[in-house]
C-alpha cells in the first residue's frame, strides 16, 4: 500500500470530495483493474477534455429567491427519482469490489438513484433488480448476431427493465493504451473475474448462452428501427454528440439520447460532452429527454448540464472509485457528496428545485 493510502481516511464518510476517492481506489486496486478503469484512448485527450470543459461555462445567480426548501427530484419516463444523477453502465464491477454491481445497486437503492446496468456486467440483471428493488435500466452492447440481440433484449425485457440504452460509440473499435500498459505490469490473474483460471474469459452472466462478441461494425440507423420492433422498452442511444445524429435519432423513434463519448474511452480528440450538449438539446427541441455523462466531478458541473438542458447526468468513474475503496458505503458517499454540492449550488443560483434551473443560469465564459 502506498504511503498516502496509509494516511487516507479509513471511513468513506470522512472523504470530502469525489476526487479523493480516486487516490483511495488507486491504492486498493491491482494494476490491471486500475488500468481498465482509468484508461482513455491514445493520449487521453477526450477523457481530459470532458473534465476541463466545465470551465467554458460560468454560473449566473439570481438573488432574493426563497431557497429554504430544496428538491433534487426528477421524473423520467413516468418514474420518479430523488436525484438527477444516475450511475452509468460500467462493466466488470467485480474487478473493483467483491460485491460488484450488487453493491452499486444497494447504494443506488438507498439513494433512490437510477442505475444503468452494463451488458459487460459481472452480475445478472435478475440479481441486480433484486438488490436495487426495481429493475435497472439496461445498457446494450449489441451482439454480432441479430438472433442473439433478440435473445438478450427478451431476457432484459422479461426482467422488467423499463429502458434499454444502446451504446453506439464503440462500433468502430478503440485503442485503450493505458489499460494495456497496466495489464502488462500485472503479473497475476484475478480469480474473482476469471473464474475458470488464468487467461480464461471474464465471467459475464448476461452473455451466457449467446456468442460473447458484440458491437457489429456494419450497424446503421436501420438497426434502431429493428430494435424498436422487437421491444416495448424505451430505447435510448448512448454515445451521440451532435445535432445531425440527434435529429436522426428522433426521426428513427429513439425515446432518449445520452450525450456521451464513453468517458473518453472510445475515440480520441472528441469534443467534451458538456460542449456537445447544447446543440443536441437544441436539435431535439424537447421531443425526447437528453441525458449526458462524461467528466462530472462536482455539483457545479452537474448544475451546468442541467442548465444547458440535460434531464439527468451520469457518473462513471467517480462511483467506481467509491466502490473500489469501500463497496456500497463508498458509492453512497460519492452520491451524497455530489447531492450536497448540487443542492448548495442550486440554492446559491436561486433555483432550489431542478424544475427551476434554466438556460439563463449559465453563460459561456469569455475566450
Ligand atoms: C471502467 C469503465 C467501464 C465502462 N463500461 C461501460 C459499459 O460496459 N457500457 C457502456 O455503455 N459504457 C461503459 N463505460 C462508460 C460509462 O458508461 C460512461 O459513459 C463514462 O464512464 C462517463 O464518464 P466518466 O467516467 O468521466 O464519469 C465504462 C466506463 C468505465 C470507466
121 lines ligand 1 (CB under 6 A): no
What's residue 15's pLDDT?
96
State the CB neighbour count (10 A cutoff) for residue 2: 10
Alpha carbon distances (Å) from 366 to 271, 288, 308, 357, 360: 18, 31, 17, 22, 16
Task: Determine the average pLDDT of the residues in 343-349.
Answer: 98
What's residue 4's pLDDT?
43
The label of the residue with cell 429567491 reads 65
Question: In ligand 1, which atom is closest to the CA atom of 120?
Answer: 8
Q: Are 266 and 170 a contacting pair, CB within 8 Å? A: yes
Does the pTM exceed 0.75?
yes
CA-nearest residue for atom 6, ligand 1, is 90
**pLDDT (tens digit per residue) in 283-299:** 999 999 999 999 999 99
**pLDDT (tens digit per residue) in 44-100:** 999 999 999 999 999 999 999 999 999 999 999 999 999 999 999 999 999 999 999
Question: In ligand 1, which atom is closest to the CA atom of 38?
Answer: 31
Lookup: cell for 181: 500498459
Ligand 1 pocket: which of 37, 39, 50, 90 to mutate (most atoms <8 Å of CB)?
90
Q: Burial-class residue 64 by CB neighbours within 10 Å (0-12, 13-18, 19+).
A: exposed
Sign of the dihedral defined by the CA atoms of residues 278, 280, 283, 285, in that order: negative
Ligand 1 pocket: which of 48, 89, 164 to mutate (most atoms <8 Å of CB)?
89
Which H or E run contains 131?
Answer: helix 125-132
- Give the separation between CA 24 and CA 10, rounded to whole angstroms: 9
Q: Is 280 helix (H, G, I), strand (E, B) or coil?
A: helix
- Give the separation between CA 312 and CA 310, rounded to whole angstroms: 5
Largest Cα–Cα separation, the chain = 63
37 lines ligand 1 (CB under 6 A): yes
Strand partners, 293: 314
Give yes or no for residue 23 having a pLDDT over 60.
yes
262 included as an active-site residue: yes
Amino acid at each position: 500500500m502506498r504511503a498516502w493510502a496509509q494516511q487516507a481516511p479509513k471511513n468513506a464518510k470522512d472523504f470530502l470530495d469525489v476526487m479523493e476517492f480516486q487516490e483511495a481506489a488507486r491504492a486498493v486496486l491491482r494494476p490491471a483493474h486500475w488500468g481498465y478503469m482509468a484508461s482513455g484512448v491514445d493520449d487521453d485527450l477526450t477523457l481530459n477534455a470532458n473534465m476541463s470543459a466545465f470551465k467554458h461555462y460560468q454560473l449566473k445567480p439570481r438573488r432574493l429567491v426563497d431557497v429554504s426548501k430544496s428538491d433534487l427530484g426528477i421524473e423520467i419516463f413516468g418514474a420518479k427519482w430523488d436525484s438527477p444523477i444516475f450511475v452509468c453502465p460500467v462493466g466488470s464491477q467485480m474487478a473493483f469490489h467483491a460485491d460488484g454491481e450488487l453493491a452499486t445497486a444497494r447504494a443506488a437503492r438507498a439513494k433512490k438513484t437510477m442505475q444503468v446496468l452494463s451488458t459487460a456486467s459481472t452480475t445478472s440483471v435478475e440479481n441486480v433488480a433484486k438488490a436495487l428493488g426495481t429493475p435497472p435500466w439496461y445498457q446494450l452492447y449489441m451482439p454480432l448476431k441479430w438472433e442473439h440481440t433478440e435473445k438478450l433484449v427478451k431476457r432484459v425485457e422479461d426482467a422488467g427493465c423499463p429502458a434499454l440504452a444502446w451504446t453506439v460509440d464503440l462500433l468502430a473499435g478503440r485503442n485503450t493504451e493505458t489499460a494495456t500498459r497496466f495489464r502488462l505490469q500485472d503479473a497475476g490473474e484475478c480469480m474473482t473475474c476469471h473464474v475458470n483460471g488464468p487467461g480464461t474469459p471474464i465471467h459475464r452472466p448476461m452473455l451466457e448462452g449467446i456468442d460473447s462478441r458484440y458491437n457489429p461494425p456494419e450497424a446503421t440507423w436501420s438497426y434502431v428501427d429493428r430494435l424498436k420492433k422487437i421491444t416495448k422498452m424505451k430505447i435510448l442511444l448512448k454515445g451521440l454528440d451532435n445535432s445531425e445524429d440527434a435529429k436522426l435519432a428522433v426521426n428513427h423513434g429513439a425515446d432518449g439520447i445520452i450525450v456521451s463519448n464513453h468517458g473518453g474511452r472510445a475515440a480520441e480528440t472528441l469534443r467534451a460532452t458538456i460542449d456537445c450538449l447544447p446543440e443536441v438539446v437544441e436539435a431535439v427541441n424537447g421531443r425526447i429527454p437528453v441525458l449526458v455523462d462524461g467528466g462530472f466531478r462536482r455539483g457545479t458541473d452537474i448544475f451546468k448540464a442541467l442548465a444547458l438542458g440535460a434531464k439527468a447526468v451520469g457518473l462513471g468513474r467517480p462511483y467506481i472509485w467509491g466502490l473500489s475503496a469501500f463497496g456500497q458505503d463508498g458509492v453512497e458517499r460519492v452520491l451524497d457528496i455530489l447531492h450536497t454540492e448540487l443542492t448548495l449550488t442550486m440554492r446559491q443560483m436561486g433555483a432550489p428545485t431542478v424544475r427551476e434551473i434554466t438556460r439563463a443560469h449559465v453563460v459561456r465564459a469569455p475566450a
